[in-house]
Amino acid sequence: MVEKLKGNMLIAQSGGPTVVINQSLVGAILEAKKHNEIKGIYGSLNGIKGVMEERLIDLKKELLPTLKKVATTPCAALGSVRKKPTEQDCEVIFNMLQKYDIRYFFYIGGNDSAETANIINENAKKVNYDFRCFHIPKTIDNDLLENDHTPGYGSAARFVAMAVMGDNLDNISLPGVKIDVIMGRHAGFLVAASALARVNEGDGPHLIYFPEKPFSKEQFLKDVEDVYAKYGRCLVTVSEGIADENGEAIAAKFTKEVDTHGNVQLSGTGILGDILADIIRQELKISRVRADTFGYLQRSFPALSSEVDAKEAYEVGKLAVKYAISGKIDSGSVSIKRKAGKKYYVYYEPVPLEKVAKNTRSMPAEFINEKGNDVTGKFIDYAEPLVGKLPEIGVLKKYPVKKVST
Amino acid sequence: MVEKLKGNMLIAQSGGPTVVINQSLVGAILEAKKHNEIKGIYGSLNGIKGVMEERLIDLKKELLPTLKKVATTPCAALGSVRKKPTEQDCEVIFNMLQKYDIRYFFYIGGNDSAETANIINENAKKVNYDFRCFHIPKTIDNDLLENDHTPGYGSAARFVAMAVMGDNLDNISLPGVKIDVIMGRHAGFLVAASALARVNEGDGPHLIYFPEKPFSKEQFLKDVEDVYAKYGRCLVTVSEGIADENGEAIAAKFTKEVDTHGNVQLSGTGILGDILADIIRQELKISRVRADTFGYLQRSFPALSSEVDAKEAYEVGKLAVKYAISGKIDSGSVSIKRKAGKKYYVYYEPVPLEKVAKNTRSMPAEFINEKGNDVTGKFIDYAEPLVGKLPEIGVLKKYPVKKVST
């Protein structure tokens, strides 16, 4: 039998919020409560920043009804942070972990957070501190390696699909060119989900642009012109992360702010949509051109989560604790794998932290069409079960009235 | 007994869509089906443009299940239009009405649409054409005269309140200054609805700016600085229509496009939010400043309509037909009035077209606080029943862990 490690547990949340990130938190807390090895269940406010500043809360004292409500509430209940720890930070963090006898550490976040967990874990190893360190996956971008998909993605994708469903109807009502800018820094999974909005022949999005394919202004204008000629309208969805041939983000050319992970600010501004709208107005002489940037609503809108996503987010939180308690491995991330076959079926596996940290994955080539302006059927098959059933759309059959001759 | 007028009916939709505009359409169709006076039930595609171009459809042929699904589908099922008819247009329209023996005309829209209906009606009177002409109210801006509120507003307000609920949680997770730009050209009702997002002490929006109050950059900066000093974050909601002392829209200074009603384009661009974010970054030296513009999602997002709003939208469509059939009045608009008292109770009244056309109403002074940066309790009492129950938000109690001394 494996020797069980006893001590306190610390959990924290990091990076951009999702609407199911608290499912993972509550999944981990409720699982931890079942195990005697875990004494105190602490939460750190604002990720590792809260660890460094000694802002810890006692999660064992939270009542079950509170936890249940928190689970279905969007965004990080513990607060989040975007911070890559320096060598010095790691020392401070590590001292705190020892001071509070933290033996179980769980960090909910994306690949940057997996990297942070990995750094902390390496530090613990160096001094032979007996420690379990697990990353719990979360990102609406769906770009973690080793995963079929990531908690947070399904719900954000659901929001995008619903928003574009509505916007397509809006664009039918008042025809013109409409551009919707969708999150996803380097991976096009979220913008791709807009394709799920299509219900009837002729429905938008008519064109979808991904960060994975070099964005050419000329091709874009030609694409829009062709669709507009065919339908008298054109609905375009475009990733905030579209980049030119040299890999420079189209939006980045116009913004300057950079976070500590070296990422350029692409969200929280309408500039990309406005640039693209201006290009169409000027070059194609189409008068009604509009752009909307869906922004933070994609990761925070309440009461719309995908059922599958919520369930899986809870599960990865729960499993991280189970893996840690089992003692079979000291550290890792919980990955979601999908079984091949028609019926949607997932299973979970621990994977080494370093395999999830740092690098991200992109849309597989088979998910993007040859022209680079739409998804393939394979993507639809992939995404549908993650997003769940979408609202029904009613459309009039429009039987023409027989013309009266005068 | 009043002589009943026999002939065909024509219905059309106009102006910006809402998520309940088809409730009014279906309410009118199903009521019309009950009356023998109405022979054909025709729909015009894209408002009066479809009348002029003879693009009429036979709504009697649409099956009930289709109509029921259409009723709960956002945006104009008949297509919409933004067009103020010229003298010449009116002649064409009027010829068409006579040609198709249209005796009942219903136009679903805002004040511009009421004006259009009024012009058509005046033309009919001039030549003694026996004609019933009714306007069916619709606008997310909630700015029609003679109405307590307008169909479309409650659902758009519900979207805004939910979006800001989520965005407030996002802003708690990753603190900074966040600006949300909300629709409403001249009336602040929609931006005001963001106040319903507040659940707990300290929740945003912390500041709300209305088109009704002159926007001062200096006051804005001071307001944001104060909130940021208090909470370490600041969530601002601002109407797209905020204007300076001279009544010039802040956003309008940067855009040029004007529609045929003389309105400047304020929606479908992120420019206002980006301008305000830049001002804060530069003047207050706050690094994390973001802006989102909710855009067309407010009027088109599916499956989120307010129950009260959907019911009332159906009702005004139904009643317009009833008023027309009754023969007691030839023309008018259906207005929604509210009985004073604690319990929410509305009744409906026909009002003359010219009373709803052209002019719009603004937020009553008693709905805006003295500083012009928030709503009053009276507004909350007004808006709550229109929006309906909002999602529950779970928040951790955050019991601090006792600090360990070293």
Burial bucket for residue B397 (CB in 10 Å: 0-12, 13-18, 19+) = exposed
Alpha-carbon distance B169 to nearest alpha carbon in chain A (angstroms): 6
> Taking CB atoms and an 8 Å cutoff, what residues of chain A touch B296?
166-167, 170, 178, 290, 292
Residue A263 pLDDT exceeds 90: no
> Taking CB atoms and an 8 Å cutoff, what residues of chain A touch B293?
270, 292-293, 295
Q: Chain A contact for B69, CB < 8 A?
A: yes
Question: Of residues B89, B112, B141, B167, which has the active-site annotation?
Answer: B141
For B6, half-sphere exposure in the C-beta direction (CA atoms, 13 angstrom radius) is 3
| Residues near A199 by beta carbon (within 8 Å), at least 6 away in sequence | A165, A393, A395
Of B16, B55, B393, the CB nearest to A73: B393
> Taking CB atoms and an 8 Å cutoff, what residues of chain B touch A291?
268-270
> Taking CB atoms and an 8 Å cutoff, what residues of chain A touch B278?
none
| Residues near A46 by beta carbon (within 8 Å), at least 6 away in sequence | A12, A55, A78, A79, A80, A81
Residue B37 pLDDT exceeds 90: yes
Give tens-digit pLDDT for A334-392: 999 999 999 999 999 999 999 999 899 999 999 999 999 999 999 999 999 999 999 99
Is-contact A75 A300, C-beta < 8 A? yes
CB contact under 8 A, B270 and A268: no
DSSP helix/strand/coil, A202:
coil
User: What is the spatial distance between Cα B241 and Cα B221, in angstroms, rounded to a whole number?
Assistant: 18
DSSP helix/strand/coil, A103:
strand
Active site residue A141: yes
CB contact under 8 A, A59 and B396: yes
Q: Name the residue type at position B326.
A: S
User: Edge-to-edge, what's the strand order for the sheet holding B207-209?
Assistant: B207-209, B234-239, B177-182, B289-293
Residue A133 — pLDDT band, cuts 50, 70, 90? very high
Greatest pairwise CA separation for chain A in angstroms: 95
Alpha-carbon distance A354 to nearest alpha carbon in chain B (angstroms): 26
Comparing A215-219, A387-391, B198-202, B267-271, the range with the smallest average pLDDT is: B267-271
Q: Chain A contact for B64, CB < 8 A?
A: no
User: What is the spatial distance between Cα B63 and Cα A395, in angstroms, rounded to a whole number?
Assistant: 11
Q: Chain B contact for A385, CB < 8 A?
A: no
CB contact under 8 A, B268 and A257: no
Of B22, B268, B302, the CB nearest to A292: B268
Which residues make beta-bridge pairs with B237? B180, B208
Q: Name the residue type at position A371.
A: K
Q: Is the peptide bond before B205 cis (omega within 30 degrees of 0)?
A: yes
CB contact under 8 A, A396 and B62: yes
% of chain B exceeding 70 in pLDDT: 95
Of A80, A82, A404, the CB nearest to B99: A404
CA A295 to chain centre: 13
CB contact under 8 A, B396 and A78: yes
> Taking CB atoms and an 8 Å cutoff, what residues of chain B touch A73?
169, 392-395
Pair of tokens at residue B128 = 């003694």
Residue A257 pLDDT exceeds 60: no
Return the residue in A113, A396, A397 with the most chain B beta carbons within 10 A, the one to mutate for interface testing.
A396
In Å, what is the CA distance from A346 to each residue of A21, A342, B282? 19, 12, 49
Mean pLDDT of A243-259: 71
Q: Chain A contact for B256, CB < 8 A?
A: no
Q: Chain B contact for A183, CB < 8 A?
A: no
Q: Is the ipTM of this complex over 0.85?
A: yes
Q: Chain B contact for A298, CB < 8 A?
A: no
Question: Of residues A89, A112, A141, A203, which has the active-site annotation?
Answer: A141
CA atoms B173, B174, B177, B181: torsion sign: negative
Residue B258 — pLDDT band, cuts 50, 70, 90? very low
Give tens-digit pLDDT for A23-42: 999 999 999 999 999 999 99
Mean pLDDT of A178-194: 96
Return the pLDDT at B205: 98
Instruction: Give chain A's end-to-end CA distance (angstroms, integer).
Output: 95
Give the residue on B whose Cα is nearest the Cα of A286.
Answer: B257
Q: Name the residue type at position A172.
A: I
Mean pLDDT of A71-98: 94
Return the pLDDT at A344: 98
Q: Which stretch, A21-35, A243-257, B113-127, has highest mean pLDDT?
A: A21-35
DSSP helix/strand/coil, A28:
helix
User: What is the spatial distance between Cα B200 and Cα A228, in angstroms, rounded to a whole number?
Assistant: 48
Pairing of strands B331-338, B346-351: antiparallel
Alpha-carbon distance A192 to nearest alpha carbon in chain B (angstroms): 18
Alpha-carbon distance A303 to nearest alpha carbon in chain B (angstroms): 6
Q: Is the pLDDT higher at B383 or at A255?
A: B383
Alpha-carbon distance A179 to nearest alpha carbon in chain B (angstroms): 9
Return the pLDDT at A269: 76
Angle between helices A307-326 and A377-387 (to 10 degrees): 80
Residue B271 — pLDDT band, cuts 50, 70, 90? confident
Residue A160 — pLDDT band, cuts 50, 70, 90? very high
Q: Chain A contact for B240, CB < 8 A?
A: no
Angle between helices B377-387 and B307-326 (to 10 degrees): 80
Give the residue on B whose Cα is nearest the Cα of A272.
Answer: B270
Q: Kindly report the average pLDDT of chain A as a whole number.
A: 94
User: What is the spatial distance between Cα B296 and Cα B203, in angstroms, rounded to a whole number?
Assistant: 25
Mean pLDDT of A216-227: 96
Return the residue in B182, B297, B402 with the most chain A beta carbons within 10 A, the one to mutate for interface testing.
B297
Q: Chain A contact for B194, CB < 8 A?
A: no
Residue A163 pLDDT exceeds 80: yes
pTM attached to this predicted model: 0.96
Residue A255 pLDDT exceeds 80: no
Host H or E run for residue A401: none
Alpha-carbon distance B137 to nearest alpha carbon in chain A (angstroms): 17
Residue B264 — pLDDT band, cuts 50, 70, 90? low
CB contact under 8 A, A270 and B291: yes
Return the pLDDT at A24: 98
Residue B378 pLDDT exceeds 80: yes
User: What is the spatial distance between Cα B207 and Cα B264, in angstroms, rounded to a whole number?
Assistant: 25
B 262-281 near A (Cβ less than 8 A)? 267-271, 273-274, 277
CB contact under 8 A, A81 and B174: yes
Q: For A240-243, which contacts have Cβ atoms below 8 Å and span 24 or more sequence positions?
A: A240/A181, A240/A182, A240/A183, A240/A184, A240/A185, A240/A266, A240/A267, A240/A272, A240/A293, A241/A184, A241/A185, A241/A186, A241/A187, A241/A188, A241/A211, A241/A266, A242/A209, A242/A210, A242/A211, A242/A215, A242/A272, A243/A211, A243/A214, A243/A215
Residue with tokens 């001279």: B246
Give tens-digit pLDDT for A89-128: 988 999 999 999 999 999 999 999 999 999 999 999 998 9
Is-contact B66 B57, C-beta < 8 A? no
